[in-house]
Homo-oligomer: A and B are copies of this chain.
Amino acid sequence: MTDIAMIEAAHARLEGHVRRTPLLSSPFLDEIAGRQLFVKPECLQHTGSFKFRGAWSAISALDPAVRARGVIAFSSGNHAQGVALAARMHGIPSVIIMPFDAPRMKIENTRAYGAEVVLYDRVKEDRDAIGAKLAQERGLTLIKPYDEPLVIAGQGTTGLEIAEQAAELGIERADVLVPTGGGGFVSGISLALEAKAPGFIVHPCEPEGFDDVTRSLASGKRERNVLQSGSLCDAIVTPQPGEITFPIMSRLCSTGLVVTDDEALHAVALAFARLKIVVEPGGAVALAAALFHGDGLGETVIAVCSGGNVDADIFRQALDRHPL
């Protein structure tokens, strides 16, 4: 299981390869939020999302002989790009299994980062069978997106940075808001902060209609989403909390926060105008929660923006619907 020692080991392996993203802020956003608000922009990470951290952590920990045969992943988005680039930087092959109707830009980027992309039909084909066959034939190692201790450890390095950067600013208490799908990111951050910033409270953040983690934390068992797609926040939509991540979240996370798609778009527009960063709607749900649902939060909030891989048309929509 992932613990602080694993996260610190991942941090050491990531050193010199990962970007240390800054903490940003704006008096304009503080005013909207009604509190001191910091943003950790993981959209500025390699491949445009935090997923690069977990991918690097898992790949760099493999036995060299096993690693040399290559890795495989299932993903329609950010995890795909993270695994593809981390594999290329290790000089090994990667195969990414993606639904053929995934956003064009994400498929093209994954290819451009050096992966072999295998497309499948979500309705007619069994992606696990396709992946298992390829993995066996070629001796590839599966890199899971969140239910994998080494991946959680890699995502947790974001939490180490938050703890350090907050300490530099003299912050001893804060609510930390994290966009959450399967829960790998928020689990890693929670474990890091438990050890390094015990006064911090972590809230998973989700889009309305896909609030499986929030409901699961409330009920004490893993709840499923009714729908599997249909949110602008596609990057963080998963069927239910992970098997490995749910116990971590149950132990360490406070209540979940839920925002509408429109609030996520509003946060995208404000991040453009006030922070000069590009955030995808799913990556902006924690910022949206801080801005529009902060009532129960303390004086200082740190909102993580998890990714920035947004198509231009969605971005334009955010600017159109939410002019300054």
The listed residue (B20, B105, B269, B278) touching A324 by CB distance below 8 A is: B105
A residues 272-324 near B (Cβ < 8 Å) are 272-273, 275-279, 308, 312, 315-316, 319, 323-324
A residues 1-35 near B (Cβ < 8 Å) are 16, 19-22, 24, 27-28
In the complex with contacts A277-B278, A278-B278, A44-B24 CB distance below 8 A: yes
Q: How far is the CA of A52 from the CA of B279 in the complex (A)?
A: 24
Q: How far is the CA of A28 from the CA of B110 in the complex (A)?
A: 12
Copies of this chain in its oligomeric complex: 2
The number of residues on chain A lying at the interface, defined by a beta carbon within 8 Å of a beta carbon of chain B, is: 33
Question: Which residues of B have CB within 8 Å of A319?
Answer: 312, 315-316
- Most chain B beta-carbon neighbours within 10 Å: one of A21, A27, A43, A319: A27
Name the distance in Å between A52's Cβ and chain B's nearest Cβ: 12
Is there a chain B Cβ closer than 8 Å to A112's Cβ? yes
Beyond A44-B277, A276-B277: 13 further Cβ-contacts under 8 Å? A16-B168, A19-B22, A19-B24, A27-B112, A28-B109, A28-B112, A44-B275, A272-B278, A272-B312, A276-B308, A278-B278, A312-B324, A316-B316
